[in-house]
Amino acid sequence: MNRIGVIGAGAFGSALAIALARGGATVTLWGRDADQVAAMDRTRENARYLPGLPLPEGLAVTGALDALSGADLLLCVVPAQATRRFLEAHAAALPKVPLVLCAKGIERDTGALMSDIAADHWPKDGIAVLSGPGFASELARGLPTALSLAGHDAACASMLQQALSTDRLRLYLSDDPTGVQLGGALKNVIAIACGLAVGAGLGESARAALMTRGFAEMTRLAAAMGARAETLTGLSGLGDLALTCTSRQSRNFAAGMDRASGAVPAEGQTVEGAATAAAAVALAQAHGQEAPIAAAVADVLAGHLSIHEAMDRLLSRPLRQET
C-alpha cells in the first residue's frame, strides 16, 4: 500500500504528496492545469503554492489521470465545491481503491458532505475522510502534524492510517466521518468571522468570544446531523478551529481580514468557508438549530450587512445560559 495517487495539485494536495513521498511512499500527484504541472515537473517545485520547497524523489507530477491507474489508494484534494463535478466526470476512469476525501467544506447548493457526494460514485466502505489542523506549508516543510482520519469500515480505515502516517504526520482514527467532516468544514466559517472581527479592529476579546460561541454552534449542528459531540472536541473540530482562527496562514481567517480592511484577496486561493457559510445556515434551519455566527458571516459576505451591523446583531441577541 505504498503507491499513492493524490488528486489536486493545489497547496494542500501538493503538501500531502510531498509529505508522503518524503515518508517513503511512491506518490503520483495529478493536477488539471497543464502549465502548472509542466512547470512543477521541470523545476521540481510548486512555485505557485509552495515556493522554495523542492519536490522529493518518489513524487511524480502528471496531468494524465490514467497515470493513477496503478495506485493502491487515492487522496482527493479537489476543492469542496468542485468535488461533485470532478467525480461525475472522472470517477469511472479511476481505480476503485480506497478513496480519502480531504476537502473541508459543505456543498453550497445541496448541503451535502463530501462523503455523501462520493458515495454516488464509490463503494461506501472504501471512502474515508481526512481533516484536522495542518497548514500546507508546515506539512510540506516536514513540521509535525496530527490529523483525524475517519471511515465507515474499520479495517479500511486502519489500513489507511498505517499507509498514510509518517514520522512527521500522525493520524488518529475516528469512526465518526460525519463529525470529522463537519468539524473541518464549519470551523472555516468561524475563522472568517474571527478574521472579520480582527480586521475591523474589534479586538482579541471579540475573537475569543467568536471562537468559543462558534465552537458551541458547530457542536450543536453536528449533533443534530447525527455526529457525536465529542468528535468536535478533537483534531478536526477544536484543534482545527484553534489553528485557523489565530493565524493569517489560514485562508479563511485571511479572507475575513481582507474583507474587513478592503484589501484585495490573493488570486487562486480557495476559501472554503465562503460557500460553507450559506450551506451551514440552510442546514441549521433544516435541523431546527440556531447558527447566528454562520448567518452573520453569510450576510456580510453577501453584502447584506456591514461587519459592525453583524456584530451588533450578535450582541443584541437575548441573554441566555451558556451551553
pLDDT at 263 (0 to 100): 78
Q: Which residues contact 306 (CB under 8 A, 6 or more apart)?
A: 300
Binding-site residue positions for NAD(+): 8-13, 136, 251
> What does the pLDDT average to over 87-112?
97
Q: Is the pLDDT of residue 267 over 90?
A: no
CB 36 within 8 A of CB 48: yes
Binding-site residue positions for substrate: 104, 251-252
> What does the pLDDT average to over 262-268?
71
CA atoms 173, 218, 195, 271: torsion sign: positive
> What does the pLDDT average to over 247-268?
87
User: pLDDT (tens digit, 9 = 90+) per residue, 147-184?
Assistant: 999 999 999 999 999 999 999 999 999 999 999 999 99
> What does the pLDDT average to over 67-93?
97
- Per cent of the chain over pLDDT 70 is 98
Instruction: Report phi then psi at 149, rounded to 5.
Output: -125, 125
Q: Is the pLDDT of residue 265 over 80?
A: no
Whole-angstrom Cα distance, residue 202 to residue 186? 22
- Structural domains of the chain ordered from first start: 3-175 (3.40.50.720), 181-315 (1.10.1040.10)
Q: Is the pLDDT of residue 127 over 80?
A: yes
User: pLDDT (tens digit, 9 = 90+) per residue, 209-240?
Assistant: 999 999 999 999 999 999 999 999 999 999 99
The amino acid that residue 255 corresponds to is: A
> What does the pLDDT average to over 121-146?
97
Instruction: Share the mean pLDDT of the chain.
Output: 96
- Per cent of the chain over pLDDT 90 is 95
pLDDT at 171 (0 to 100): 98
> What does the pLDDT average to over 14-41?
96
> What does the pLDDT average to over 81-94?
97
Query: Confidence band (pLDDT; 50, 70, 90) for 134?
Result: very high
124 an active-site residue?
Answer: no
Which is the catalytic residue, given 22, 187, 207, 220?
Answer: 187
> What does the pLDDT average to over 265-276?
82
Binding-site residue positions: 8-13, 32, 49, 104, 132, 136, 187, 240, 250-252, 272
